[in-house]
Chain A
Amino acid sequence: MSALLEVKNLQVRVEDREILHGLSLTVNKGEVHAIMGPNGSGKSTLSHVIAGKPGYEVTGGEILFKGEDLLEMSPDERAAKGVFLAFQYPVEIPGVATMTFLRTALNAQRKARGETELSTPDFLKKVREVAASLNIPQDMLRRGVNVGFSGGEKKRNEVLQMALFQPSLCILDEMDSGLDIDALRIAADGVNALRSSDRAMVVITHYQRLLNYIVPDYVHVMSKGRVVKSGGKELALELEESGYAQFEEQAA
């Protein structure tokens, strides 16, 4: 098995406060990893640093993606290389039609990879197929990006993009928050459809329930900026029973 993502002893600061204190995580192709952990433990911070969000200072460690130094790349280079983060809080972009956004993004990634741009009919066909499979109505695609979308619709729009861009690493930050039971199942089906031997997923969640739908190979517990325990899918069930208290002591 070849490592797709290697996070080694990562230390990250935000505004002079260290949030991640030497975090390590290796994700191989074909695997699904779940990351759980209390509020404020640094899960979103990790996902942001992997995606390249500005404002974080990496003071130590490294991140390799397909063997390359990810921290040297701009966010768009990372996206073109196959990193995708489904945001915990997707932003609204008024005035930019969802369709225009999707086409510009897809073609920018293809261009960066030296592939030809998709023709408009091919693009439309593809979006319609994916949208239909995720139960996303066409009129949502005509609106501004996430503008006036419900919390659940925003999350579905993230999964739609993931399905469209076909990234090799999918990081899902609390994809399940704000989704009703039916929407959760549909979104999880969408994610599962993307599982493949040359793609990996990192699923950040607070709830075991999501992991019934997207069954992980590994579960990691994060606390106070570190991975404090790793195990198989049964670890999530254990957490549901006992909570995080034991790990908080460990991390302190």
Chain B
Amino acid sequence: MNVAVVKPTPERALGELFATARDRLPGSGIVSEVREAAFAEFAKRGLPNRRVEEWKYTDLRALLREVAPLAAAPDQAALAKAATAVAALDVIDAYKLVLVDGVFAPKLSDVSALEAGVRLNTLSEVLEDRDNKVRGDLLLTNATSDVMVSLNAAMATDGFVLNVDDNVALKKPIHIVHVATQTGTAAFTRSLLRVGKGAQATLVESFAAAAGAQTYQVHDAVVVWVGDDAQVQHVRLVEDSHDASNVSTAIVTLGAKTQFNSFNLTSGSVLSRYQGFLRFGGEHANATINGVNLLKDRQHGDTTLVLDHAVPHCDSREVFRAVVDDRAHSVFQGRINVHPDAQKTDARMMTRALLLSDEAEADNKPELEIFADDVQCGHGATTGALDESLLFYLRARGLSEKEAQALLIQAFVGEAMESIADEQLRELAIATAERWLAARG
């Protein structure tokens, strides 16, 4: 008997995904080759499921089911809707670079205002530049073989290629704003930031929906190189609509004597994964990687960080806080690899989860792999509810239950926000958390 082998729907859709998108993907020649190889890798492995160790708490096959078709390039109506959403986010003084449904929107951005010492190109224009022999490298990384990064390389439509020259201290942050205007489609973006020696820069990324955009997908990657003696701040605010999905990756390489300070706040998306791969490539560098998840309803938020202490004398600090309400699920995975000659490494990771309901869930997976002997590494984790005696004290002073909870939650997440050096960004993070708390009613 001849039985035709019919692939299950998600995988069939998978092949079509790339085939139908191809005409829209910038870059030919070497770029196409890189994309095809990347997509072949993705097609071979498929969406990660719980049997893939790095994804065991976030089974994308079960939670995302399939990769949505590529979002159409935004038309005038989409841009108009996006403009309204951008205006609402436009609360910090920054150089604003807007991507609408994965495509650069110059009219909504502040390109002309960029100061001297910063060079900006869009990803699509660099990929299209046939004179650039290394343009294919923009889609490659040796920091990870994660399959979602391969998918991103295959499908990326746009993003930014930013260079900050040596010894330039940017006066204002660069603010990449991702806005989705469509329903049921996916945007794929990739940005690269190279910060020169002794330079100072701040990168802010916001993810948001225009009115009416639902169940869309965001697939983003950011690659950052920090030159020796440079200082970089990286702040991410994920406020996607409550039925959207956001799978984002940051790949960071730090030079010697750098200071890298990053903070991620996830309050949006029904499904989110933020994975950071950070490598210390030069001695005496210092990194703070903090994060907060504010989750409710049925949200699933995953932060996964992999730190490679590849050289001696570097310090890393990770402070992560999760506030989980209703039936939401927060995941934190923190891996620290201390390579054999990375003596005098000082790496600490502390994660705490606050469960606001009986059905809320938090998973925490610390992994320390230490191959050097003269190091200090530590991690700690707690999971618990709000302290009843503190709640009662506040209520006895007149605060309602929600007000008392809000004050204690703010204090709880505040510990992870203290590290945001820039005051306007810290205020922005605090305001975002306050909005989340206010929405709890």
Chain A residues within CB distance 8 Å of chain B: 51-54, 74-76, 78-80, 85, 87, 90-91, 93-96, 100-101, 104-106, 108-109, 112, 144, 161, 165
CB–CB A79/B396 < 8 A: yes
Docked pose: A72 CA to B398 CA in angstroms: 16
Chain B residues within CB distance 8 Å of chain A: 388-390, 392-401, 403-404, 407-408, 410-412, 414-415
3 nearest CB pairs, A to B? A95-B411, A109-B398, A79-B398
Choose among A54, A93, A95 the residue that contacts B393 (Cβ–Cβ < 8 A).
A93
CB–CB A104/B403 < 8 A: yes
Count A-B contacts at CB 8 Å: 73
Docked pose: A80 CA to B396 CA in angstroms: 9
Look across to chain A and name the residue whose beta carbon is closest to the beta carbon of B399. Answer: A108
Docked pose: A108 CA to B407 CA in angstroms: 12
Look across to chain B and name the residue whose beta carbon is closest to the beta carbon of A92. Answer: B390
Choose among A75, A100, A161 the residue that contacts B392 (Cβ–Cβ < 8 A).
A75
- Whether A96 touches B411, Cβ cut-off 8 Å, given contacts A54-B388, A108-B403, is yes
Q: Inside 8 A of B399's CB, which chain A residues have their CB?
A: 76, 104-105, 108
CB–CB B395/A79 < 8 A: yes
Distance between B305 CB and nearest chain A CB, rounded to angstroms: 23
Instruction: Report 13 cross-chain contacts, Cβ distance below 8 Å, ordered by A residue.
Output: A76-B399, A79-B395, A79-B398, A91-B389, A93-B408, A93-B411, A95-B415, A101-B407, A105-B394, A105-B398, A108-B400, A161-B397, A165-B398
CB–CB B397/A52 < 8 A: no
Distance between A41 CB and nearest chain B CB, rounded to angstroms: 22
Distance between A18 CB and nearest chain B CB, rounded to angstroms: 22
Q: Inside 8 A of B408's CB, which chain A residues have their CB?
A: 93, 96
Q: Inside 8 A of A96's CB, which chain B residues have their CB?
A: 407-408, 410-411
Docked pose: A100 CA to B403 CA in angstroms: 12
**Given known contacts A104-B407, A108-B400, what 6 new A-B pairs fall within 8 Å (CB)?**
A75-B392, A79-B397, A91-B389, A95-B414, A96-B411, A104-B399
Q: Inside 8 A of B395's CB, which chain A residues have their CB?
A: 52, 74-76, 79
Q: Inside 8 A of B393's CB, which chain A residues have their CB?
A: 87, 90-91, 93
Docked pose: A226 CA to B414 CA in angstroms: 46
Docked pose: A112 CA to B398 CA in angstroms: 8
Q: Inside 8 A of A75's CB, which chain B residues have their CB?
A: 392, 395-396
CB–CB A91/B390 < 8 A: yes
Look across to chain B and name the residue whose beta carbon is closest to the beta carbon of A97. Answer: B411
CB–CB A95/B410 < 8 A: yes
Look across to chain B and name the residue whose beta carbon is closest to the beta carbon of A94. Answer: B411
Docked pose: A192 CA to B411 CA in angstroms: 35
CB–CB B392/A54 < 8 A: yes
Distance between B385 CB and nearest chain A CB, rounded to angstroms: 13
Look across to chain A and name the residue whose beta carbon is closest to the beta carbon of B411. Answer: A95
Q: Inside 8 A of B394's CB, which chain A residues have their CB?
A: 93, 101, 105
Docked pose: A75 CA to B398 CA in angstroms: 7
Docked pose: A82 CA to B99 CA in angstroms: 54
Docked pose: A104 CA to B398 CA in angstroms: 9
Look across to chain B and name the residue whose beta carbon is closest to the beta carbon of A112. Answer: B398
